[in-house]
Amino acid sequence: MGKGTTGPLPGQRGLPGVAEDTPPLEEGAEHFTNCRPFRVVSADLRYPWGGFREGSRFRCYFCGHSFKPGDQARWQADFGKENCCDFLVCAECDGPDVVARWHRHYVDGKRRFWWMG
Protein backbone atom coordinates (compact mmCIF):
# COMPACT_ATOMS: atom_id res chain seq x y z
CA MET A 1 0.00 0.00 0.00
CA GLY A 2 1.06 3.55 -0.53
CA LYS A 3 2.82 5.44 2.21
CA GLY A 4 2.17 8.93 0.84
CA THR A 5 -0.09 11.45 2.48
CA THR A 6 -2.42 14.13 1.26
CA GLY A 7 -4.00 17.09 2.97
CA PRO A 8 -6.76 16.57 5.53
CA LEU A 9 -10.29 16.15 4.21
CA PRO A 10 -13.07 18.48 5.33
CA GLY A 11 -14.63 17.37 8.59
CA GLN A 12 -11.59 15.40 9.77
CA ARG A 13 -10.94 17.59 12.80
CA GLY A 14 -13.05 16.82 15.86
CA LEU A 15 -13.26 13.08 15.19
CA PRO A 16 -12.51 10.70 18.06
CA GLY A 17 -8.76 10.48 18.56
CA VAL A 18 -8.02 13.24 16.04
CA ALA A 19 -6.33 16.31 17.49
CA GLU A 20 -6.73 19.83 16.15
CA ASP A 21 -3.21 19.66 14.70
CA THR A 22 -4.04 16.49 12.76
CA PRO A 23 -1.41 15.47 10.22
CA PRO A 24 -2.50 14.82 6.63
CA LEU A 25 -4.50 11.68 5.87
CA GLU A 26 -2.49 8.58 5.15
CA GLU A 27 -3.04 6.96 1.76
CA GLY A 28 -4.48 3.48 2.16
CA ALA A 29 -5.43 1.31 5.10
CA GLU A 30 -1.94 0.00 5.87
CA HIS A 31 -2.17 1.19 9.48
CA PHE A 32 -5.97 1.15 9.87
CA THR A 33 -5.79 -0.26 13.41
CA ASN A 34 -4.67 3.16 14.66
CA CYS A 35 -8.36 4.17 14.26
CA ARG A 36 -7.45 7.30 12.31
CA PRO A 37 -9.17 8.35 9.09
CA PHE A 38 -7.41 7.31 5.88
CA ARG A 39 -7.91 7.91 2.18
CA VAL A 40 -9.03 4.73 0.39
CA VAL A 41 -6.76 3.40 -2.38
CA SER A 42 -7.47 0.60 -4.89
CA ALA A 43 -5.53 -2.00 -2.88
CA ASP A 44 -7.90 -1.50 0.08
CA LEU A 45 -10.78 -2.85 -2.01
CA ARG A 46 -9.13 -6.28 -2.25
CA TYR A 47 -8.69 -7.00 1.46
CA PRO A 48 -10.98 -9.44 3.29
CA TRP A 49 -12.59 -6.85 5.60
CA GLY A 50 -14.46 -8.61 8.38
CA GLY A 51 -13.07 -11.92 7.13
CA PHE A 52 -15.23 -11.91 4.01
CA ARG A 53 -14.16 -12.17 0.36
CA GLU A 54 -12.30 -9.35 -1.31
CA GLY A 55 -13.82 -6.09 -0.16
CA SER A 56 -17.41 -7.33 0.15
CA ARG A 57 -17.65 -5.81 3.65
CA PHE A 58 -15.62 -2.66 2.92
CA ARG A 59 -18.59 -0.42 3.61
CA CYS A 60 -19.75 2.12 6.17
CA TYR A 61 -21.53 0.16 8.88
CA PHE A 62 -23.98 3.04 9.38
CA CYS A 63 -25.17 4.06 5.91
CA GLY A 64 -23.88 1.14 3.81
CA HIS A 65 -21.72 3.31 1.52
CA SER A 66 -19.33 1.09 -0.47
CA PHE A 67 -15.92 2.70 -0.21
CA LYS A 68 -14.07 3.56 -3.41
CA PRO A 69 -10.63 5.07 -4.06
CA GLY A 70 -10.45 8.66 -2.86
CA ASP A 71 -13.06 8.24 -0.10
CA GLN A 72 -12.25 8.90 3.53
CA ALA A 73 -12.79 5.87 5.77
CA ARG A 74 -11.99 4.98 9.34
CA TRP A 75 -11.96 1.70 11.23
CA GLN A 76 -13.02 2.04 14.85
CA ALA A 77 -12.20 -0.58 17.43
CA ASP A 78 -14.46 -1.16 20.41
CA PHE A 79 -11.50 -2.24 22.60
CA GLY A 80 -13.98 -4.19 24.74
CA LYS A 81 -15.48 -1.00 26.19
CA GLU A 82 -19.02 -1.34 24.86
CA ASN A 83 -19.07 -5.10 24.22
CA CYS A 84 -19.89 -4.68 20.54
CA CYS A 85 -17.95 -5.29 17.34
CA ASP A 86 -15.43 -3.07 15.57
CA PHE A 87 -16.75 -1.14 12.58
CA LEU A 88 -15.91 0.95 9.52
CA VAL A 89 -17.33 4.44 9.13
CA CYS A 90 -17.41 6.97 6.27
CA ALA A 91 -16.62 10.69 6.66
CA GLU A 92 -20.31 11.66 6.55
CA CYS A 93 -21.34 9.30 9.37
CA ASP A 94 -18.24 9.81 11.53
CA GLY A 95 -18.18 12.25 14.42
CA PRO A 96 -17.27 12.67 18.08
CA ASP A 97 -20.22 10.51 19.21
CA VAL A 98 -19.73 7.69 16.68
CA VAL A 99 -18.88 5.02 19.28
CA ALA A 100 -21.97 5.84 21.36
CA ARG A 101 -24.16 5.83 18.22
CA TRP A 102 -22.68 2.49 17.14
CA HIS A 103 -23.32 0.99 20.56
CA ARG A 104 -27.00 2.07 20.45
CA HIS A 105 -27.29 0.72 16.89
CA TYR A 106 -25.67 -2.58 17.88
CA VAL A 107 -27.74 -3.08 21.06
CA ASP A 108 -30.98 -2.22 19.24
CA GLY A 109 -30.10 -4.64 16.43
CA LYS A 110 -29.45 -7.48 18.86
CA ARG A 111 -32.74 -6.76 20.62
CA ARG A 112 -34.76 -6.61 17.39
CA PHE A 113 -32.95 -9.42 15.58
CA TRP A 114 -32.50 -12.10 18.24
CA TRP A 115 -30.71 -14.38 15.76
CA MET A 116 -27.71 -12.00 15.67
CA GLY A 117 -26.43 -13.68 18.80
Question: What CA dihedral angle connects 78, 4, 90 and 31, to 10 degrees?
Answer: -20
State the chain's mean pLDDT as an integer: 77
| Residue 95 confidence (pLDDT) | 92
pTM confidence score: 0.71
| Rounded alpha-carbon distances, angstroms, from residue 66 to 2, 9, 83 | 21, 18, 25
Average pLDDT on 63-71 reads 95
**Is the model more confident about 55 or about 14?**
55
pLDDT of 99 over the 70 cut = yes
Average pLDDT on 5-19 reads 46
Average pLDDT on 43-63 reads 85
